[in-house]
Amino acid sequence: MATPEIIGSNRSTYTRVACMVCEEKGIEYVLTETALHAAEIRAIHPFGKMPVLRHGDVELFESKAIATWLDRRYPAPFVFPSEPRLAALTEQWVSLVNTVIDRTLIRTYLFAYIAPGTADGKPNRPAIDAVMPAVREQVAVLDKAVAESGHLVGDQFTFATST
């Protein structure tokens, strides 16, 4: 069987998610480091976003599609539950992270430190201060969700935990 190749950057949270699925499932894979919008990525993703996957004759883009392929293609442990309630809860948390939490914690808060856009290159304090109420609220929601078992869904690692 061909070895899955994940093309992206380890600096990308979504690339790391795809790699994490491989690690959790014990899948041997190759991470090909490349820049956003690189030719290797554009050949698969219409907008040049990472990660993308090459696995034999299968090429995929978007981390959830990649994770779903890997989860169904390889044996247990499975990161997408088959039980309907747990599957729906996994989808719920993945959606929340992708639509709300990523924008707050990564695209705003973290980027204000690592890519501040300030003249002196120091953290963008106004952006950080402005987003802190949302950061506190969202972290509290996540803390409450994992309080019982340490996982967002059920009592084991799922794709929701990786997002």
pLDDT in tens, 92-142: 999 999 999 999 999 999 999 999 999 999 999 999 999 999 999 999 999
**Domain stops at, among 43, 73, 103:** 73
Q: What average pLDDT is seen over the chain?
A: 95
Q: Is 44 part of a structural domain of the chain?
A: yes
Q: Is 125 part of a structural domain of the chain?
A: yes
At position 5, the amino acid (one-letter code) is E
pTM: 0.89
* Domain range enclosing 27: 5-73
| Nearest-angstrom CA–CA distance, 68 and 95 | 15
Q: Would the pLDDT of 162 be above 80?
A: no
Residue 71's Cβ-count burial label (10 Å; 0-12, 13-18, 19+) is buried
pLDDT tens digits for 71-98?
Answer: 999 999 999 999 999 999 999 999 999 9
Regarding whether 148 and 125 lie in a shared domain, the answer is yes
Report the number of distinct structural domains present in the chain. Answer: 2
Regarding whether 66 and 94 lie in a shared domain, the answer is no
Q: Is 79 part of a structural domain of the chain?
A: no
Q: Is 150 part of a structural domain of the chain?
A: yes
Task: Kindly report the CATH number assigned to the domain that includes residue 44.
Answer: 3.40.30.10
What is the per-residue pLDDT for 16? 96
Regarding whether 68 and 126 lie in a shared domain, the answer is no
